[in-house]
Amino acid sequence: MLLRTRIQTLTVAVLCWVISVPAFAEPVPLDRAPSMSGEIEVNYAPSDGEVSGTNPPAFVWLPHDGVEQWQIQYSPGEDFEHDDTVIVSALSMTVHIPGETMAPGPWHWRYGYEGDDGAVWSRTRSFTIPDDATAFPFPDMEDVLANIPETRPRVYHSAEDVATIRANEDGKLDWLVEPVVRAAERALAEDAPLFEEPLPWSEYGENQRDVYNDNWRRMRPYTRGMEICARAYLFTGDERFAAEAKRRLMHFMTWDVDGPSSVYWPTELGMDIAEHAPRTFDWIHDTLTEEEREICLEVLGKRIRQINEMHRSRPFEARPLSSHPGRMVGFAVEGSIVLAHEIEDAPDWLEYTLQVLWSVYPAWGGHEGGWHEGISYWSSYMRRMTQVVAELDRLGVALKDKPFFQNTGYFGLYAAYPHRPARAFGDSYEHTVTGGFGSLLYRLATMYDDPILRWYADEMDAEPEGPAAYSIWRPDMEAKAPVELPQSRVFHDAGWVAMHSDLANPRDTVFLLMKSSPFGAISHNHANQNAFVLEAYGEALAISSGYYHTYGNPHHRDWVWHTKAHNGILIDGEGQVIRSPRSRGRIIEHIEQGDWAYALGDATEAYGGRLDKALRHVVFLRPNVFVMVDELVADEEAATAQWLLHAHEEMALDEAAQRMLVSRGEAHLRVQFLTPEAMEFSQTTGWDPPVERPEDGPPQFHFTASTTEPATKTRIVTVMTAYREGEVDALPEEITLVDAVGGTALQVDGVLVLIRDPEAGEVRAGGQATREPAAVLVP
């Protein structure tokens, strides 16, 4: 229903957290640029000219000192005089999401505040809602609260679920119950002493970092043991499990909420309690005395309130680009549900957090489902958050309709395909893709009734796991292999493009992943714009090097963060700017044509002004040949360029032939350099600084091909071919550069590859021409 013109004053507590109206000596300037230093800020949304993926969009603007209450207008008319103009006032958040869909078509919006001399407005931004935009209105909070049961258990299982699970007719639920009971029995057998509350971190002097790391690493299995015992009680009614869960829970209720386990930095201990204690309390509620329940309500209320206050104080809706506060969004939702009918403020916490989820969450991706922080952190955070999404869906809150959640399973499918030998990019990229990824995609398959995502889960022999396992179990769901999907996919939101030769056969696929992130080099990702990794036949051939043992340790800080650790380009031996949101890249082209695919990444900005151009073109000639062209233009001073590749095994170099070979297992990668001539080759092993735990860091090898003469313009053309042991016939017999105008051209076994320079109108070579970014032609 289309909203008519009106003044709408919102009085829900979460939106009127601050209600004083300041006096303004001078108008506050609006439309300031987002901060790119310190706490990085979001941009305005919908942006000017945006085509909204949701209906309605979330309106987001930036806070300004001195303004405590806001108002916005949105209208089909640019002058805001249209009959269907909407005015919303008394907003304390710099976010507003309408509760009803809007008419498709062009719209205009502005935000402002009430000054001494009347309304002060921002500039007008225009956007369009297409007919096919996803319906995503903000839920009615009265309905949300009414759907939260007053009985317990309240989260992830109803009383009816518990009765069904405990009955376990014909053993149909053994898959669910038995692993939980086994884990709970192990927790009982450990007879672990109560986990000692640390002293204030400052008491440990120079050792506080090490003591902190030791504490959270030991605490995670302890708190998970508490939760697993509570879950085992829920499934069996065995009070031994409830007693152990209670023993641990009530001990944590004695900890100082504002002490070392605060959710203010350092945060790991506080997050661990906030994640596991509310559901433990909910599941063993009937075994607690009234006094114990009151203690839990008081302490858990303080902990979830602390998260809410931390989010508001940032405020999160303007500054969400921080990893741990983003993880705590799910804890705030779940804790608010657990406490909804007992703690007066809990409904306000829930409403605030849902507004965050409807607008700026996730900070690290957008509608396409990508995740800037990388595959390991995507998996860790989505395993937590998607169970919250599933739980909200059970309560009638359709967060799962958000395009990010609808698409993020395909980020996993393409970038973390089954059995993948590595997780590049992002911290912990050295680890393999394991069964937890399959369980995550099982959940997403059920949520979206998606047989392709279920195929992924089946490929990994994955069952549903976690608190939401019972509600997402679908034994009757048929899987469908991704044989009809495009074999490459781009995720512009995170700046990743994944190219496969055979996505449906993960142990046989040849795979290249290139990254050029618009988020820059921040959080758990690195200064590696336009870097790539290449895998074939189940082996990692071109890898991101180094190991992630502790965040910010010398090896992490002075190796992993840097371009030198990745398959990228150095300029005069120097890489991209580290730890900066301005060290950005972007994927500016992607073409999928079946027999071949193409991508173009732009890393110019990441070099901090040292280059006027840093482009990387990749053409994938399926099934196994990659043509890579690096275009480098220095700003003023001539410079040399270094082309990097890292591998697990020592590489075979043939500088005379301008060729090198990577081998691992039965897989090989031949790299042929075509231009410039006479690149200098070198290879090293080890790292500077060394890894933190050498026993967990097997050796790696680092190859450099360097230009020999400084130049202001450099074009490096390489052809990389993957093949199996004994299959040398898979190597191209002919690789020849062809004179071209407006770009680069190669002849590869009778196929003409044309790659257009972006500033050229067309590329011409060998009697052929194209205005497309790339073309693969058979004469």
Q: Is the pLDDT of residue 156 over 60?
A: yes
Question: Residue 304: inside a domain, yes or no?
Answer: yes
pLDDT (average), residues 329-336 = 98
Q: What confidence score (pLDDT) does residue 28 get?
A: 82
pLDDT (average), residues 727-744 = 96
Q: Is the pLDDT of residue 484 over 50?
A: yes
Q: How many residues does the chain have?
A: 779
Q: What confidence score (pLDDT) does residue 389 get?
A: 98
Same domain, 606 and 700: yes
Same domain, 455 and 492: no
Q: Quote the tokens at residue 315.
A: 């405020």
Q: Is the pLDDT of residue 490 over 60?
A: yes
Query: At 635, is the pLDDT very low, low, confident or very high (cuts 50, 70, 90)?
Result: confident
Question: Residue 146: inside a domain, yes or no?
Answer: no
Same domain, 474 and 509: no
Q: What confidence score (pLDDT) does residue 544 get?
A: 98
Query: At 16, is the pLDDT very low, low, confident or very high (cuts 50, 70, 90)?
Result: very low
Same domain, 531 and 403: no
Same domain, 493 and 478: no
Q: Is the pLDDT of residue 654 over 50?
A: yes
Tell me the residue type at 79.
D
Nearest-10 Cα torsion for 722, 728, 733, 736: 30
Same domain, 501 and 619: yes
pTM above 0.85, yes or no: yes
Q: Quote the tokens at residue 61.
A: 């603007």
Q: What confidence score (pLDDT) does residue 719 get?
A: 98
Q: Is the pLDDT of residue 127 over 50?
A: yes
Evaluated on CA atoms 93, 95, 100, 105, the torsion sign reads: positive
Same domain, 461 and 593: no
Helix (H, G, I), strand (E, B) or coil at 675: strand
Q: Is the pLDDT of residue 17 over 50?
A: no
Same domain, 652 and 723: yes
Residue where one domain finishes, among candidates 485, 503, 532: 485
Q: What confidence score (pLDDT) does residue 24 get?
A: 54
Same domain, 122 and 85: yes
Question: Residue 145: inside a domain, yes or no?
Answer: no
Q: Is the pLDDT of residue 269 over 50?
A: yes
Report the C-alpha gap between 185 and 129 in whole angstroms: 55
Question: Residue 779: inside a domain, yes or no?
Answer: yes
Question: Residue 654: inside a domain, yes or no?
Answer: yes
Same domain, 43 and 57: yes
pLDDT (average), residues 230-245 = 98
Query: At 627, is the pLDDT very low, low, confident or very high (cuts 50, 70, 90)?
Result: very high
Same domain, 227 and 338: yes
Question: Residue 144: inside a domain, yes or no?
Answer: no
Percent of the chain with pLDDT over 90: 95
**116: containing domain:** 1-138
Burial environment of residue 688 by CB neighbours within 10 A (0 to 12, 13 to 18, 19 or more):
exposed
**CATH code of 203's domain:** 1.50.10.100
Cis status, amide bond into 362, omega within 30 of 0: yes
Question: Residue 502: inside a domain, yes or no?
Answer: yes
Q: Is the pLDDT of residue 143 over 90?
A: yes
pLDDT (average), residues 570-580 = 98
Q: Taking a C-beta distance cutoff of 8 angstroms, is the pair 678, 706 a contact?
A: no
Mean pLDDT score of the chain, rounded to an integer?
A: 95
Residue among 407, 475, 470 nearest 441 (CA): 407
Q: Is the pLDDT of residue 275 over 60?
A: yes
Q: What confidence score (pLDDT) does residue 19 get?
A: 36
Q: Is the pLDDT of residue 636 over 90?
A: no
Same domain, 671 and 591: yes
Question: Residue 148: inside a domain, yes or no?
Answer: no
What lies within 8 Å, CB to CB, of 552 at 6+ separation is none
**CATH code of 548's domain:** 2.70.98.70
Q: Is the pLDDT of residue 549 over 50?
A: yes
Q: What confidence score (pLDDT) does residue 25 get?
A: 55
Name all contacts of 44-48 with Cβ < 8 Å and 24+ positions apart: 44/125, 45/359, 46/109, 46/125, 46/127, 47/125, 47/127, 48/125, 48/126, 48/127
Q: How many domains would you assign to the chain?
A: 5
Tell me the HSE value of 216 on the side-chain side, using a 13 A CA sphere.
20
Encode pLDDT of 383-424 as tens digits.
Answer: 999 999 999 999 999 999 999 999 999 999 999 999 999 999
12 φ, ψ to 5°? -60, 140
